[in-house]
Amino acid sequence: MNYRTFLRVSLLSIFIANFTQAQSVKVYFNKPVNNAVANGTNAVYLNNTFDDTIAAYINRAMYTIDIAMYNFTTGTNTSTIGQAVNDAYDRGVQIRWVYNTSSSNTGLTTLNPNIPTLGSPSSSQYGIMHNKFMVIDINHPDTTKTITFSGSCNWTEQQIINDYNNIVIIQSKQVALAFENEFNEMWGSTGI
């Protein structure tokens, strides 16, 4: 782990350690979960509804959505996500999308062409943009409405339905700011 990664992980750990009761973390899995060993809030098994859950959070957005997604492909279960992003854009939500250029990302063709997207550099010196997160309403006047959406799941049919994956939803302005800083670094600015 290099110093920069260590610093980010350390800062995120501090943010998480300072959660208040008004903040929450929800963890969802696309395969059955054994909660017998859970200590605290149980994880939830979403049986073939990852796409609906992702779309539901996008549908809540009022101001901004910043998406960093390694791969987003077209398909039955991913069309719900693409439609939610387009609907948000039509509602006036500002959307920015960073993606990995060496992945297929065929789902990007289903988005409104006015939604700004940015592919990661594809040189061997850069590697891959393997992030999977979304920050919703970073500057919402009610900080309880700011959401960070992350986890292991790419937005592909295989990842949503077949592969073992999770979604982690964090309601915390502090955590959202850490992810937003990372997004802005990849995007190259804080603007559209």
pLDDT at site 161: 95
pLDDT tier for residue 18 given thresholds of 50, 70 and 90? low
Q: Taking a C-beta distance cutoff of 8 angstroms, is the pair 106, 155 a contact?
A: no
Q: Sign of the CA dihedral 184, 191, 104, 162?
A: positive
Question: Which pLDDT tens digit goes with each residue over 149-179?
Answer: 999 999 999 999 999 999 999 999 999 999 9
- DSSP character string of 110-165: GS-TTS-EEEPP-STTT-----EEEEE-TT-SSGGG-EEEEES--BSHIIIIIS--
188 or 16, greater pLDDT: 188
**Confidence bin at 8 (pLDDT 50/70/90):** low
pLDDT, greater one: 165 or 15: 165
Residue 14 has pLDDT above 60, yes or no: no
Average pLDDT, the chain: 90
3-state SS of 31-66 is CCCCHHHCCCCCCEECCCCHHHHHHHHHHHCCCEEE
Q: What is the mean pLDDT of residues 130-144?
A: 97
pLDDT of residue 144: 94
Confidence bin at 19 (pLDDT 50/70/90)? low
Task: Give the contacts of 186 (CB within 8 A, at least 6 positions apart).
Answer: 68, 98, 118, 120, 129, 131
Q: What's the pLDDT band for 7 if we cut at 50, 70, 90?
A: very low
pLDDT digit string, tens, across residues 40-85: 888 899 999 999 999 999 999 999 999 999 999 999 989 999 999 9
Instruction: Reply yes or no on whether the pLDDT at 11 is more than 60.
Output: no
**What pLDDT score does 41 carry?**
80
**Percent of the chain at pLDDT exceeding 70:** 88
- Average pLDDT for residues 121-142, to the nearest whole number? 93
